[in-house]
Structure 1
């Protein structure tokens, strides 16, 4: 994560808090990331020297017309500063700030099958306490190679309680 993206995210978050639109901005940034991921040409166009900065800002205003004005202004500022390639990093950092302010954190849970809502709630409660958060916003990733159990990643923390990991540990013990 670049320091530039962090600074922009912190400024955007502060402004969103002041205007009480933290969730709305978060939703708009999710949409922005989807647009960039599904249309990588957009970033190429917005960083291309073939178009004027004013034209690029106009394109952003048109594409994200329904987004909150502070999101559009932030994107236009990134264009001005020739930092539009930081947009996804900014969105990611903003999510961390928003979750932290709400006493939650994002967690990726790897499992062999789709988790039920009850299982997600149980994991959120148990692992949230371990990292000092009230709740976790869980993204479930299906990974059959785990054989069973779950691996939970919250920021830099990884809790691995999978059958594959336990077998690997047993193998190391037996082989020496």
Structure 2
């Protein structure tokens, strides 16, 4: 994450929290990121210095003005004016991180070779909530390369119970013993 993304994302969060709009703006930011991800040419157009700034700001007003809070719309315009619109996803990451810290929420990514059932996900979520003492937002990813088992990244802390991870640990021990 860039320094600009950190700085601007935290600034927007501080303002949103002060104005009691953090829930609204977080939802809006995720929707706007989806729009930007689906329409990279739009981001390019809004970032293009050869297009007059006034026109770029007007395009944002027309496309997003009626669906965003005034603070969020102004935030996007500031990013455009500063040539930092491509930092938007970094701003969202920082905003979400600050939001999660204030609301006792932890992000976790579970990686398995095959998708887990709803019951398995719920059981894992409950265990992770006991470990972290926070409400856990669990995202699931499948990766056949891990062979089997489960690998969980909980706020940067890695719990690797995958077959691939165990084989890697075993290989290290064998290498250390042989040397």
| Structure 2 length-normalised TM | 0.87
Determine which structure has more spread, i.e. the larger CA radius of gyration.
2
RMSD (Å), alpha carbons: 1.8
Contact 1:108 1:152 in 2 (8 A): yes
Contact 1:128 1:135 in 2 (8 A): yes
In structure 2, distance between residues paired with 1:96 and 1:7? 12
In structure 2, distance between residues paired with 1:50 and 1:78? 16
Question: What do residues 41-76 of structure 1 show as CA deviations (whole Å, max 9, x unaligned)?
Answer: 122111112211121111112222312222111000
The equivalent of 2:140 in structure 1 is 140
The equivalent of 1:121 in structure 2 is 122
Displacement of 1:129 in angstroms is 4.5
SS of equivalent residue, structure 1 residue 114: coil
The equivalent of 1:46 in structure 2 is 46
Question: What do residues 82-119 of structure 1 show as CA deviations (whole Å, max 9, x unaligned)?
Answer: 21121111011111111111101211111122223333
**1:160 paired to 2:156:** no
Displacement of 1:122 in angstroms is 3.0
Moved over 4 A (4+): none
Ranges in structure 1 where 5+ consecutive residues have no aligned partner:
none
In structure 1, distance between residues paired with 2:106 and 2:61? 31
Ranges in structure 2 where 5+ consecutive residues have no aligned partner:
none
| Structure 1 length-normalised TM | 0.89
In structure 2, distance between residues paired with 1:81 and 1:133? 40
The equivalent of 1:15 in structure 2 is 15
Displacement of 1:133 in angstroms is 4.3
**1:86 paired to 2:94:** no
**1:150 paired to 2:139:** no
In structure 1, distance between residues paired with 2:122 and 2:143? 20
